[in-house]
Structure 1
Amino acid sequence: MVNQLKEKKKQVQQQHNLDPENPEAEPSRFFCGSFCSALSRLFSLTCVIFLVLSFATLLSAIFWLFPPRRSLPTRHHADDIVHLNASVEACFRLHKQASEVISHKGKLEMDIFSSIHLRNNTKVTVLSLHQPGASNFTHVKFGVLPVPTNHTMTKHSLTSLRSSFVNLFAQSCDLNLTTSTFGKPTSFQVLKFPGGITVDPLGLEPVSGLLELLFSFTLDFSLSEIQDRVDLLKNQLELVLHLELFESFRVVLTNHKGSTVSPPVTVRGCVVSNMTIMESHIQQRFDHLAQPPAKNFGLDNSVFGEVKNVTFTSYPVGKVLDSDSVLATNANFLT
């Protein structure tokens, strides 16, 4: 009976891998457990490394197939020496992104050159391109330089160029740029022109006859600002001059800095009659202009500001001249 119980106990110990009588069995079991644990950690580390390498390879493939777009330039500024050499400067707007315009800067220069009919001894250089703030247009500033740059532009070239600029400012013509690339330019302004720049804001036809009056005054406004008030200027001048049906007048505006955006502006004008008139009529107008009520030359100072440097000269017996020649030959006297 006792032997049967011992045999049964031995069988139970064998089933549970327990052998209290064999102390070497315990280290064997520990070695087996440690090996399995190490093997498990090895496989986990290999998986992690494999996943990292796979992810890196995937990213490389994505960047190779779809490279990131390079940041395009949004401003251009020519060297300071180029600005100094440009005696003539003008600007306008293009309703395009600055990055688009900059990528076609060379073509823009050629288009401007062709539009203003320059000669081979001159060239156009884009001085700056920038897109102000969150606007949807690009401000283009360009200069006209002689070739070579250490020479000066001829008088004939300046005369022709001045005429082109005046027509562009008055919107009598447009810059003929490649529309598909640049769109339609707007807001043309002259920034600098040697010898000044003169415009006819009223667009009046030259008048001829007997010269009665020459006048001149200065307004602390730019040509561009007066251009926006041109109808009011015409109406108020007609009132202060008390024109008769047989009389007409002509005015031109000059900025001696050669800029349409910088004040001041000198207003020069003349009154011409197409028939012989009495000396008393001319004297009456002269006296009226000399009176205090006409101190501001009849212009509303809330619109045009204070009229300064007023000069006028009457011709009691008349003098046969056309308005263009009068305003040209008396420019120095009137200013």
Structure 2
Amino acid sequence: MTSIREEMMFHPFASSTQRWLNQLLSLFPLSKNTLAMVNQLKEKKEQVQQQQQQNLDPEAESSRFFFCGSFCSALSRLFSLTCVIFLVLSFATLLSAIFWLFPPRRSLPRHHADDIVHLNASVQACFRLHKPASKVISHRGKLEKDIFSSLDLRNHTKVTVLSLHQPGASNFTEVKFGVLPVLTNHTLRKDSLTSLRSSFVNLFAQRSSLNLNKSTFGKPTSFQVLKFPGGITVDPLGLEPVSGLLTLVFSFTLDVSLSEIQHKVDLLKNQLELVLHLEMFESFRVVLTNHKGSTVSPPVTVRGCVVSTTMTTVESHIQQRSNNLAQPPAKNFGLDNSVFGEVRNVTFTAYPEGTVLDSDSVLALTPSS
């Protein structure tokens, strides 16, 4: 009986069996001996449970947890150190790549005159020397003398180098110079300006060049006029003045610079010939003016004239041309809008019967419609 009850106590279903016995005992009360035996079984069960709890070694559990914690901590430190090393190496590689692709700019030697000198220089121009700035700066005085002699200036004027600049990683130097009167608080004489303007126009059109010491400075290129009082006028086609019967005078404005048109002279000539419908006995001349006196800044005023080389004119042809030109600016005066931009301020005057005028004097005037 005792063995059966013990098995029931430790069977997986002991708890449900115990409840069943308790219900059975409540229905059928047992004798004192039977109750004593049941109590002994309960006490034995409690002793077995206590013994099982004592068999569990708390130090072993603590040691196992300590080992696991130490291992995880060491593993975490290892991975942290690896990540730090990886990040440092990656950052160093990134910096090397950046400095290789974008090397730090070196402080290149340069020269810049005082601001007051820049303000007083009413005539300014620039050109390019294919020499590093370090070699040009040491010969600045020689450069000023060579420019002065090349421009054939008078003794009451002087040349001052305003700046010497070497752009970025290039191997050339941008030279900016000014022409000033020798005496302060004076202006350049009119005859000096006339001679100087002619020299600048020829240099810009590459009909002449600055006579610099070649062994020291090399050959100057890319001459540009930056500032000239009274404006600057150039003849991009290089046509000689013509005489005859003047039949048309025209003018319009383009939002481009003289330098930009200089590279498109042939295209300008061809398109103007088409819109003017020139006859075999006719010729035309065009001049370009920048009223700021700059070849690098817009706008440009285009002035031209058509001259008949014979002493007779065809009035019907001249009248037809006038009717065609009456359409601008809608037809952009026959010029390609994508190349020369929009034609503005168009004016023209036709002379059906012709009038004898020299083209030089005509192009110095502003025609009225």
**TM-score, shorter chain, exceeding 0.5:** yes
CA distance in 2, matches of 1:249, 1:72: 52
For residues 192-249 of structure 1, the C-alpha deviation after alignment (integer angstroms, 9 at most, x for no partner) is 0000000000111111100000000000100000000110000000000000000000
Match 2:327 to one of 286, 291, 298? 291
For 2:250, the equivalent position in structure 1 comes to: 215
For 1:60, the equivalent position in structure 2 comes to: none
For 1:77, the equivalent position in structure 2 comes to: 112
Structure 2 residue matching 1:318: 3-state secondary structure: strand
For 1:261, the equivalent position in structure 2 comes to: 296
For 1:280, the equivalent position in structure 2 comes to: 316
| Contact preservation (8 Å) 1:72, 1:99 | no
Q: Which has the higher helix share?
A: 2
Q: CA deviation at 1:324?
A: 1.2
Q: Give the counterpart letter for 2:229 in structure 1.
A: P
- The percentage of aligned residue pairs carrying the same residue is 83
CA distance in 1, matches of 2:216, 2:289: 35
1:87-126 equivalent positions in 2, closer than 5 A: 87-126=122-161
CA distance in 1, matches of 2:249, 2:230: 22
User: Based on CA coordinates, which of the two structures has the bigger radius of gyration?
Assistant: 2
For 1:302, the equivalent position in structure 2 comes to: 338
CA distance in 2, matches of 1:145, 1:222: 25
For 1:235, the equivalent position in structure 2 comes to: 270
Structure 1 residue matching 2:352: 3-state secondary structure: coil
1:145-224 equivalent positions in 2, closer than 5 A: 145-224=180-259
For 1:7, the equivalent position in structure 2 comes to: none
**TM-score, scaled relative to structure 1:** 0.76
For residues 286-334 of structure 1, the C-alpha deviation after alignment (integer angstroms, 9 at most, x for no partner) is 0011136863000010111100000001012111012112112x14x46
Structure 2 residue matching 1:176: 3-state secondary structure: coil
Pick closer, same or farther for the CA change 1:157–1:334 going to 2, 3 Å.
Answer: farther
Q: Give the counterpart letter for 1:134 in structure 2.
A: A
Unaligned 5+ segments in structure 1 are 1-70
Q: Give the counterpart letter for 2:243 in structure 1.
A: S
| Contact preservation (8 Å) 2:328, 2:346 | no
Q: CA deviation at 1:94?
A: 0.3
| Contact preservation (8 Å) 1:93, 1:187 | yes
Q: Give the counterpart letter for 1:243 in structure 2.
A: L
Runs of 4+ in 1 over 2 A off after TM superposition: 291-295
Unaligned 5+ segments in structure 2 are 1-105
Pick closer, same or farther for the CA change 1:89–1:292 going to 2, 3 Å.
Answer: closer
Matched, 1:314 2:340: no
Q: Give the counterpart letter for 1:144 in structure 2.
A: V
Q: CA deviation at 1:153?
A: 0.6
Structure 2 residue matching 1:214: 3-state secondary structure: strand
CA distance in 2, matches of 1:175, 1:169: 11
For 2:168, the equivalent position in structure 1 comes to: 133
Q: CA deviation at 1:278?
A: 2.5
CA distance in 1, matches of 2:239, 2:315: 26
Pick closer, same or farther for the CA change 1:72–1:287 going to 2, 3 Å.
Answer: closer
CA distance in 1, matches of 2:226, 2:107: 28
Aligned pairs, number: 263
